[in-house]
Chains A and B, each alone.
Chain A
Amino acid sequence: MSLLKVTDLVVSYGGIEALKGISFDVDQGKIVTLIGANGAGKSTTLRTISGLVAPKSGRIYYEGRDITDFGTQKIVETGIALVPEGRRVFANLTVLENLRIGAYLRKDKEVIEEDIQYVYQLFPRLQERSWQLAGTLSGGEQQMLAVGRAVMTRPKVIMMDEPSLGLAPLVVKDIFKIIQTLKGTGMTVLLIEQNANAALHACDYAYVLETGRITMSGTGEELLASTAIQEAYLGKTSKS
């Protein structure tokens, strides 16, 4: 059963349609990725699901419920968290305060403390730096914090917008390990990436987005094997 279901989603900024009617499913406990070039509409998709952008038409279902008109606050409460593009940690707050902001909508005080310890377990580096201002962390640590902050909302679905952006290759590896860890804890991950190679290796299912339309879909292996994908996103030229 699909946990998150998007049907015929159309989003336009001004007169320009960024999404021209896309439909896809995200299954429970899976890593699903959307890959595509700049301007394909990947970020728009995530922003629309999390309620930051209102769609022109189309519906979004979560656990069978229509959440299209819920508004960000309610969507976060129902269990969909966004790790925004470019990390966007709160630079002048400490690591701990950043995590507490993640739990802002929650009322269960004791569980929040447990969850902070849980995040520290996932990312021991954050515990070492819990009193440091988030702006002084390295890029990789900030990305960990952004993920940790999203985990603090107790999500069932965690959506990540280009988590590898601007990070060193070694750190990117760490980030993908983190994604696997999250999956291991039963979380569903919706990942969008320009780093198609890494994303396709990590995911269970993938959709290819081109200028606002889904042009292809399949499991990671299937897409990795496809010549069209290899040429367009993986930089391999077909041998003639």
Chain B
Amino acid sequence: MNQKKSKTPMIITLVLVAAIYVAVFIAEQTLPANSMLFTVLKKGATYALVAVSMNLLNGFTGIFSLGQAGFMLVGAYMYGIFTIPIAQRASVYQYFDGGMIQFTVPVIVAMILAGLAAAFFAFLIGLPVLRLKSDYLAIATLGFAEIIRAIFQWNGLGPITNGSNMLRSFPSFNDFNIRDGQGNVTVYLSTLIPFLMAGVCILLIVLLINSSYGRALKAIRDDEVAAEAMGINLAHHKRLAFCVSSFFAGVGGAMLAMYQTTVQAKSFTSAMTYEILLIVVIGGIGSVTGSVLSSFLFVACSEWWLRFLDEKQMIGTFEVPLLRNGFRLVVFSVIIMIVVLFFRRGIMGDKELPDLLSRRMKSEGRRKK
């Protein structure tokens, strides 16, 4: 009987995670900085955070929300607005006389502001929306994400949001590299820093999930009526989960801004939400590990490994048929269909990395006996 959960799998997991961080650091110092690997890692870390935040709602609380892109947009804008250097503002806000806000805050503060702003929007939206259930809630959140997008593009808010023009010149991931006097990079940190940011945020989410609050959220997911009968305040807990999830989506949005180096409201479409939903589904609804793994897989496929499908490929003199711009998306759709049909529980189901390790050790222990 396995009465007490052993601590060893947890320790192995921590060691593994630490090893990944070290590997990222070493790879960054040794490999050329323009390698595709780093693009994938940076965007992957960003998407991992957003996917985990979505999983907190969809997988752990059972709230099917599709507002993620909207909250990322809020986060990305908050970050951009508060970090564009004063000197650059005149050129960025060229149609709005340099904009209204004439101060900047440190990157870390801007990221927290990004999260808080997203959480605040979530609170407001949650007041009416969280009374709805399942599909209706999904439709309503999707609608609100579109409304947010429209509002941020509105010219009337131009002095703050720069209307439909893009925000740029704010600190990006590359600015985390440490440079010497001549501007040459001495220590590369542009991949490690986003890894750290995402790592800290995901750790916080994991701690929440494993707390008694998290257990209450899972109880709500499994059976609302029984949870309420046990004295769990449904409205309060749902609102909490919605705001926390949106907070981290906002932070993720700020990271996406840093990754892209520019922010424009029109790129935060519902298609972005679907991408993240896809990551969550492929990774396994209810598994943080799954969301993280599938984020990197998804980003690697869409940005790197499947790119060749979009270009003409010649094998000798033979031109491979079908390959042209957009074919990648066709292949992608097929992969998704296969996953949904045959691997319905995703890569990880609802298991986490320590669960897998402990099962492995248990079976090994049995073999030894």
Residues of A within 8 A of B (CB): 50, 52, 72-73, 75-77, 82, 84, 88-93, 97, 100-102, 104-105, 128, 130-131, 149, 153
Contact A73-B231, Cβ < 8 Å, known A101-B216, A104-B212, A104-B216 = yes
Q: For the complex, is B221 an interface residue (Cβ under 8 Å from A)? A: yes
> What sequence of 0s and 1s flags, for each residue 208-233 of chain B, a beta carbon within 8 Å of any chain A beta carbon?
00001001101101110111111111
Which of B5, B216, B223, B231 is in CB contact (< 8 Å) with A76? Answer: B231
CA distance A89 to B3 in the complex (A): 21
Interface contact B3-A131, CB-CB below 8 Å: yes
Of the A-B pairs whose beta carbons lie under 8 Å apart in the complex, a sample of 16, sorted by A's number, is A73-B231, A73-B233, A76-B229, A88-B223, A89-B223, A92-B222, A93-B215, A93-B218, A93-B219, A97-B215, A101-B219, A104-B212, A104-B215, A128-B1, A131-B2, A153-B230
Which of A73, A77, A88 is in CB contact (< 8 Å) with B226? Answer: A88
Cβ distance B56 to chain A, nearest Cβ, rounded Å: 15
> What sequence of 0s and 1s flags, for each residue 179-219 of chain B, a beta carbon within 8 Å of any chain A beta carbon?
00000000000000000000000000000000010011011
Interface contact B3-A93, CB-CB below 8 Å: no
Which of B5, B212, B219, B350 is in CB contact (< 8 Å) with A90? Answer: B219
Contact A52-B219, Cβ < 8 Å, known A92-B350, A131-B2 = no
Interface contact B218-A90, CB-CB below 8 Å: yes
CA distance A77 to B229 in the complex (A): 11
Interface contact A50-B229, CB-CB below 8 Å: yes
Which of B3, B5, B215, B225 is in CB contact (< 8 Å) with A101? Answer: B215
Interface contact A91-B222, CB-CB below 8 Å: yes
Interface contact A72-B231, CB-CB below 8 Å: yes
Q: Number of B interface residues at 8 Å Cβ cutoff, please give it.
A: 23
CA distance A128 to B1 in the complex (A): 8
Residues of B within 8 A of A (CB): 1-3, 5, 212, 215-216, 218-219, 221-223, 225-233, 286, 350
CA distance A230 to B232 in the complex (A): 41
CA distance A143 to B83 in the complex (A): 57
CA distance A232 to B255 in the complex (A): 69
CB-defined contacts of B231 to chain A, threshold 8 Å = 72-73, 75-77, 104-105, 153
Q: Among B5, B226, B231, B232, which residue has the most Cβ atoms of chain A within 10 A?
A: B231
CA distance A73 to B286 in the complex (A): 27
CA distance A88 to B221 in the complex (A): 12
Interface contact A72-B228, CB-CB below 8 Å: yes
CA distance A52 to B216 in the complex (A): 18
Interface contact B226-A100, CB-CB below 8 Å: no
Q: Among A52, A72, A76, A77, which residue has the most Cβ atoms of chain B within 10 A?
A: A72
Which residue of A is nearest B221, CB measured? A92
CB-defined contacts of A101 to chain B, threshold 8 Å = 215-216, 219, 227, 230, 232
